[in-house]
């Protein structure tokens, strides 16, 4: 063998040793696995409630008690557009009970009122256990926002994921009558 080939062999040998040094021993792997499990399991006395005991978690309560809220539009000198995208919308199919997933897009040209974002988030999450058709939920969201805000214009698009090889997109619009 030439010096060059010995050098290459030496480098390979070091490389192999380095890789074998980073291999975890059974004891260290078990210790890491135990730490991983402990990090993912909440403490029993954390005061956050226990799902197994039937107590509702704070997020569940907030969603159940949701109420759309508004605040005054502070920019009345011009018309402008607000776009909201809610990519994690879920509801239940009223025929099968299977979950339906969608991206809800809301475009509002406000008049006197704007919707408060946290209340909108909780309102949208409130549909997750409701049995409702795609067409109905899109129009319900539109009407609830029209009733709350009385905007110049509003469009709600429900872009539902494919079910049964059919992709459904429902668009509902409202324009305020001219004064």
pLDDT over 70 percentage in the chain: 70
Paired tokens of 113: 């009122």
The domain in which residue 154 lies consists of 58-175
Residue 82 lies in a domain: yes
pLDDT in tens, 143-155: 999 999 999 999 9
Question: How many structural domains comprise the chain?
Answer: 1
Q: Which residues contact 172 (CB under 8 A, 6 or more apart)?
A: 138, 139, 141, 142, 155, 156, 157
**Catalytic residue annotation:** 93, 100
| Of the candidates 138, 74, 143, the residue with the CA atom closest to the CA atom of residue 110 | 74
The overall pTM is greater than 0.75 = no
* Residue 46 within a domain: no
CATH number at residue 68: 3.30.1130.10
What pLDDT is stored for residue 132 in this prediction?
97
Does a structural domain hold residue 71? yes
Nearest by Cα to 129 from 85, 176, 174, 97: 97
Q: Residue 76 falls within a domain, yes or no? A: yes
Phi, psi of 122 (to 5 degrees): -65, -40
The percentage of residues in the chain with a pLDDT greater than 90, rounded to a whole number, is 61
Q: How far apart are CA 42 and CA 132, in angstroms?
A: 34
CA 7 to chain centre: 55
30 in a domain, yes or no? Answer: no
């Amino acid at each position: 063998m030439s010096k060059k080939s010995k050098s290459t062999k030496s480098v390979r040998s070091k490389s192999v040793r380095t890789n074998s040094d980073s291999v975890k021993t059974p004891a260290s792997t078990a210790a890491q696995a135990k730490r991983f499990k402990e990090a993912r399991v909440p403490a029993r006395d954390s005061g956050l409630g226990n799902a197994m005991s039937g107590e509702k978690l704070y997020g569940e309560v907030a969603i159940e008690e949701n109420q759309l809220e508004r605040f005054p539009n502070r920019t009345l000198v011009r018309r402008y557009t607000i776009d909201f995208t809610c990519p994690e919308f879920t509801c239940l199919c009223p025929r099968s009970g299977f979950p339906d997933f969608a991206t809800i897009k809301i475009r509002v040209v406000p008049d006197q009122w704007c919707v408060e974002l946290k209340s909108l988030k909780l309102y949208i999450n409130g549909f997750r256990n409701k049995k409702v058709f795609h067409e109905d939920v899109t129009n319900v969201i539109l009407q609830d926002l029209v009733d709350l805000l009385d905007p110049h214009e509003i469009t709600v698009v429900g872009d539902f994921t494919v079910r049964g090889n059919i992709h459904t997109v429902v668009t509902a619009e409202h324009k305020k009558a001219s004064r």
